[in-house]
Amino acid sequence: MANFPKPSRNKLPPPPPPTEATDNLSQPEHAPGTFVDGRTLRATGRTTQFTTRITEELQRDIKVWTAQNGMKLNDFVERAFQALKKEMGN
């Protein structure tokens, strides 16, 4: 078995005398700010996945239209469904 030397421990210099230390311990503590995760800002309560097959052309058209109008795909589907229900009288 090989004999490896013990690693040398670098010793820290002695701490400064109390007269040179800062007085930050006597100052009040600041409360941590509330952290807001970006995901919670986007949370919409939608938890069910909806998957369907459509043509590539329709998908491209929908994606382009929603991007141009600053809308998400799920908002588009909800609004399209509501408009169709209203149009059909249900």
Q: Tell me the one-letter amino acid at 60.
A: R
66: left (phi over 0), alpha (psi -120 to 50) or beta: alpha
Q: Is the pLDDT of residue 48 over 80?
A: yes
Neighbours of 62 (CB within 10 A): 16
How large is the average pLDDT for residues 49-60? 94
Residue of 54, 62, 59 whose CA lies nearest to 80: 62
Average pLDDT, rounded, for the chain: 86
How large is the average pLDDT for residues 28-53? 81
Q: Is the pLDDT of residue 42 over 70?
A: yes
Determine the Cα angle at 39 with ends 36 and 41, to 5°.
65
CA distances from 29 to 20, 21, 26 (A): 21, 18, 9
